[in-house]
Amino acid sequence: MKITWLGQAGLLFETDNLKIMIDPYLSDSCGKTNPACKRRTPVDERFLETNPDVIICTHNHLDHTDPETLAVLLKSEKSITVLAPQAAWAEVRKFGGNHNYVQFNRHTEFTVGNVLFRAVKAEHSDIQPIGVIIEAENKKYYVTGDTLYNTDIFDDIPNDIYAVFLPVNGLGNNMNMTDAVRFCERINPTFAVPMHCGLFDNLNMHDFAYSKAVVPKFFEEIKL
């Protein structure tokens, strides 16, 4: 499995000849609507040419369901599977094309090739956010999506998570670093990757004091 951090909450998973993009934010849409959210790291435009097989949008916020990024990725003539919970699904399906738009709400499972996707609870300011567990190569990868620490989440999470990818910025209804450490201690992953920092702010993800943390770098492979 090759995993690349795309900045903010964006990830690219590459496995079994599948390319899976989660919450790709490869524009400056947020900066155009709010100058405080102007990008501090330029877009690496190579990733706009990824031609993914699967796109997952975890909720309907601009830095997760970005129309500028999706307009480029969904121009593809091949059929892309797009997984999104209800509010985000209503937005992404407007792009049309020969794509499979799947309403991916909590407890929904969907398989593409040899990869199983499972939507799990998240607690955020969007009406229906999700996290997603990706089962591939005999491992479970858990992308929490934007979320606060909420004890109901743990009912959805298996006890053998290989790697968790989670927000630690503490703003906008996300966990701060202290609560993110508590979250990781509760689910006990083999690795924990902090995200949602550094693009709009000057937070240092090395301050995430979890013993099994792997701090990512923009547009580079995450070595687990």
Domains of the chain, earliest start first: 2-207 (3.60.15.10)
Q: Is the pLDDT of residue 3 over 90?
A: yes
pLDDT in tens, 182-220: 999 999 999 999 999 999 999 999 999 999 999 999 999
Provide the sign of the torsion angle of the four alpha carbons 182, 183, 189, 192, taken in this order.
negative
pLDDT number for residue 147 = 98
The residue written with tokens 């970005």 in the block is 66
Q: Is the pLDDT of residue 10 over 90?
A: yes
pLDDT in tens, 189-198: 999 999 999 9
pLDDT in tens, 86-145: 999 999 999 999 999 999 999 999 999 999 999 999 999 998 999 999 999 999 999 999
pLDDT number for residue 16 = 84
The per-residue pLDDT of the chain, averaged, comes to 97
Distance (Å, whole) CA 159 – CA 19: 26
pLDDT number for residue 140 = 98
pLDDT number for residue 21 = 98
Name the percent of the chain lying above pLDDT 70: 100
pLDDT number for residue 185 = 98
The residue written with tokens 């899976």 in the block is 20
Query: Residue 115 half-sphere exposure, CB side, CA atoms within 13 Å?
Result: 19
pLDDT number for residue 127 = 87
H or E element, residue 72: helix 67-73
**What secondary structure letter does DSSP report for 80?**
P
